[in-house]
Amino acid sequence: MINSRSLWISLLFPAFLLAAALPSPAQYVPGQYTAEAPFRSWNSFPYIGAAALGRGQTIFAWGTDATVSAANPSLLLTLPKWTLSLGGSYLYATTAKYGPVGSGVLGTSGPIGRGFLGLDHAAVSLRAGRFAFSAAIFLSESYARPIAEASEYSGSTLLYLVRYEQGGRLWTSHFGTAVRLSERFGVGLGLNVETGQINEDFLEDIPIAGYTIIGSKSLDLSGLSLNGGVFWEPSASMRVALTFQTPSKLTASTRTLDRYQAAGRTDISIRGEAEDVFHRPLVLGAGLSWRIAERLRTALDVSYIRWSDYRATWIGENQVRDFRDVLRVGAGAEYVSDFRLFGTRASAPLRIGIGYDPQPPKDPRSAYLVFTFGTGLAAGGFRIDLGTSLGFESGSGDTLNARRISLACGYVF
């Protein structure tokens, strides 16, 4: 349960509480969840579809549909002639420090969580001779936070209310192309156009004294980046791949409103605007896919993310983001069973995987251990995939967790 600061402090020091509506890094250590932090994990590249999610989030050297272009567009050359995919996810994560929560303004008895459900990608690919192309839109980052609210009553009379909420999403429009240079070697390049928004709202209402304090921020986000990759098939059963995403800038047109109201006496509004920017890091990846037997295939992915180069300008000020470079690792396997469904040849994969996902903040130094599993059905050209990941955090002392369940439907021909 969320606990507010004592009521008499709120009444004596409304100016202090107005400042608390815009918490600064000096108040507390936010850990993973700084204001612009993605929901669940900072390591949001690449986008992972349902099939790859179930096999340890491995996608650099193994793709099953057009979503692979977001990670390694060269793998478009390994897909059927046409692929179409549409998918959605349920995302859930817990946190104990964000915004004013954990700063002394609001506290929690333990981690609190939030989940949301929605579509997260649509993708199409075409392979023609030595060339392949893709177009996709996918949810690359969410900025949701658990809604924090605390109140105090005397009987049925509200004495005090505080509420904090943050949301927002970053969508990426992706366009990929690839060319096969030889029978066993291909290269690819992708363009990513990012648009989105972050919204943050703080309300503190003290009806018994006639005070209301409001603080809000709204950021319109935009950015461009390139990603690409190569693959090499030394044998019919093995594929090796290298991938990258370029450093990029995510710019933000920021608007703020701070308002202090005293019933019948005072109404002070302060509006502001700023042009902010987040300097996002270089990502390098390597992947290996190995078909051990006709029905059994394994994969390994390693990502190097140069978070030490990350910089953030927030509300016109350079923010402290003391980040470290990280290595993210995933490994998985898939076993396929064949059968007949209503007279049509069909197959059902069984997928399992494990991953290690360290977060970039140096303090606290934390990481998620991620377990994944999934399944699916392929009949004719129809495909359906279901993937689940369960992440368990250690290092922060808050015992956080992060989950994702993803469902994708598609068609290949």
- Whether 31 has a pLDDT exceeding 80, the answer reads no
> In 275-321, which ranges are continuous DSSP H helix?
none
Helix, strand, coil share (%) of the chain residues, nearest 5: 10, 65, 30
Percent of the chain with pLDDT over 90: 76
List Cα–Cα distances, 100 to 187, 239, 254, 304, in angstroms: 47, 48, 19, 32
CA 228/CA 323 separation, integer angstroms: 25
Q: Cβ contacts of residue 163 below 8 Å, gap of 6+?
A: 147, 148, 149, 201, 202, 203, 204
* Cα 126 to Cα 112, 176, 272, 341, 412, distances in angstroms: 44, 10, 47, 28, 10
pLDDT at residue 17, as a whole number: 38
Question: pLDDT category, 209, cuts 50, 70, 90?
Answer: confident
From 149-163, 381-395, 396-410, the region with the lowest mean pLDDT: 149-163
Query: Residue 35, Cβ neighbours under 10 Å: how many?
Result: 20
> pTM of this prediction?
0.89
Residues 246-273 pLDDT 10s: 999 999 999 999 998 887 778 899 999 9
In this predicted structure, what is the pLDDT of residue 159?
85
Read off φ and ψ for residue 38, nearest 5 degrees.
Answer: -65, 150
pLDDT at 27 over 90: no
Q: Which two tokens stand for residue 87?
A: 């998918």
Tell me, what's the pLDDT at 110?
Answer: 87
Local structure of 25: helix, strand or coil = coil
Q: pLDDT, tens digit, for every residue of 326-347?
A: 999 999 999 999 998 888 899 9
Angle at 324 between CA 404 and CA 227, to 5 degrees: 60
pLDDT of residue 13: 36
Quote the pLDDT of residue 233.
Answer: 97
Domain containing residue 157: CATH number: 2.40.160.60
Residue 320 pLDDT: 86
How many domains, the chain?
1
C-alpha separations of 47 from 4, 141, 218 in Å: 38, 9, 25
16 has pLDDT over 60: no
Can you tell me the distance from the alpha carbon of 341 to that of 331, in angstroms, rounded to the nearest whole number?
31
pLDDT number for residue 68: 97
Q: Which domain holds residue 296?
A: 2-412
Q: Is the pLDDT of residue 25 over 80?
A: no
Measured torsion, CA atoms of residues 48, 49, 53, 56, in degrees rounded to the nearest 10: -50
Which pair of tokens denotes residue 1?
Answer: 């349960």
Give residue-wise pLDDT tens across range 281-311.
Answer: 999 999 999 999 999 999 999 999 999 999 9
What are the distances in angstroms from CA 377 to CA 96, 180, 340?
39, 29, 11
Torsion of CA 51, 64, 59, 120, to 10 degrees: -60
